[in-house]
Structure formats: C-alpha cells, structure tokens
C-alpha cells in the first residue's frame, strides 16, 4: 500500500527516487516548478529533454503524458516530467489532470522508484483551483495500483498544504 505524506516546502530540495516536474509541453524548462527543477538540477536535465524532444516529442509532450530523465544535481535518481492541463471553467479537463498523476506513477513503477515527490500539478500558472486539484491528485494516487511505497506531495505554501491535508484526512 502506498503511503501519502505531505510536506510544505521546495520540491527541488526533496530526497526521493523520483521528483515529478510540472513541465510545459516543450520540455525545455519554464517558470514555476519547471524552472526551479531545471535550475537546481543543472544542464543534464535539459540535455536529456532536448534529446527526447528531438527523438519522440518534436511537437511537445502531450497534456496528461509523462516521461523520465536524469535528475542531474537534484537529490533524486530521476525527474518525471508531466504536462498538466490549463484549467477551464467551460471544459472539464479533470481526466487529463488525473492522467498526469497516473502516468507519472506508471513511469515510476517502470523505473523501480519507491519514493515519488509530486508538486500540485496545474494549480499554479495553469489556474487549476487548489481544492479541486488536491482532490483529483489524492483520489488518483489512492486509486492507482503501484509499487511506489511513498507518494510525497510537496506543497509550496500553507494554502496548498491545507487543501491537500483536507483530502488526505
């Protein structure tokens, strides 16, 4: 059974087998969590992302999908990059958000990862409401069969931590 833990802090400072990156589809870095992971992880992550883009994802990684690279200088073995959906009040994209968590756990299983640190995917610049994002994240992790022993949600601020704590119970 997978244990869910919550931490308020900086995901780039976590020690885990895999750290999940809320990436943009280009895989070439950006703002928020994506930029922080690329900055702290160093050039090895970007180099592998460029190779992935050149070989398989020339038009970008599709929303809801995930792919792994080295973790570079992070205290992890891998970074799992996943592209979250932009929130829309008129178009239910919650299955795409759930897919980010599910696909990331599937890749973690393939890699043999036992600990995985997730950010609150899509709840930053992509505008997903925090309470709903937390609900989808926790329900998806609980509903996914995985060999991952610990899923750690690393939340940047108190509001995110409280939203996830309400879902974890």
Q: For the chain, give every domain's residue range.
A: 3-168
At a CB cut-off of 8 Å and minimum separation 6, what does 127 contact?
86, 87
Does the active-site annotation cover 110?
A: no
Q: Could you give the C-alpha distances from 137 to 41, 51, 54, 130, in angstroms and in order?
A: 25, 29, 30, 10
Average pLDDT, the chain: 96
Say what percent of the chain tops pLDDT 90: 91
* pLDDT over threshold 80, residue 57: no
Return the CATH class of domain 3-168. Answer: alpha beta
Given the residues 34, 73, 92, 157, the one annotated as active site? 34
* pLDDT over threshold 90, residue 54: no
CA Rg value for the chain: 14
What pLDDT sits at residue 116?
A: 98
Give the whole-angstrom CA distance, residue 85 versus residue 109: 23
């Amino acid at each position: 059974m997978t244990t869910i833990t919550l931490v308020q802090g900086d995901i780039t400072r976590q020690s885990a087998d895999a750290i999940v990156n809320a990436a943009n589809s280009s895989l070439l870095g950006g703002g928020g969590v994506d930029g922080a992971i690329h900055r702290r992880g160093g050039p090895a992550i970007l180099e592998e992302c460029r190779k992935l883009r050149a070989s398989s994802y020339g038009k970008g990684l599709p929303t809801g999908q995930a792919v792994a690279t080295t973790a570079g200088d992070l205290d992890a073995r891998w970074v799992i990059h996943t592209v979250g959906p932009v929130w829309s009040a008129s178009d239910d994209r919650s299955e795409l958000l759930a897919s980010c968590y599910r696909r990331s756990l599937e890749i973690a299983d393939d890699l043999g990862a036992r600990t995985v640190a997730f950010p609150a995917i899509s709840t930053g610049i992509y505008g997903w409401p925090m309470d709903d994002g937390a609900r989808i994240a926790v329900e998806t992790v609980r509903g996914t069969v995985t060999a991952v022993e610990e899923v750690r949600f690393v939340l940047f601020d108190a509001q995110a931590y409280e939203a996830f704590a309400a879902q974890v119970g």
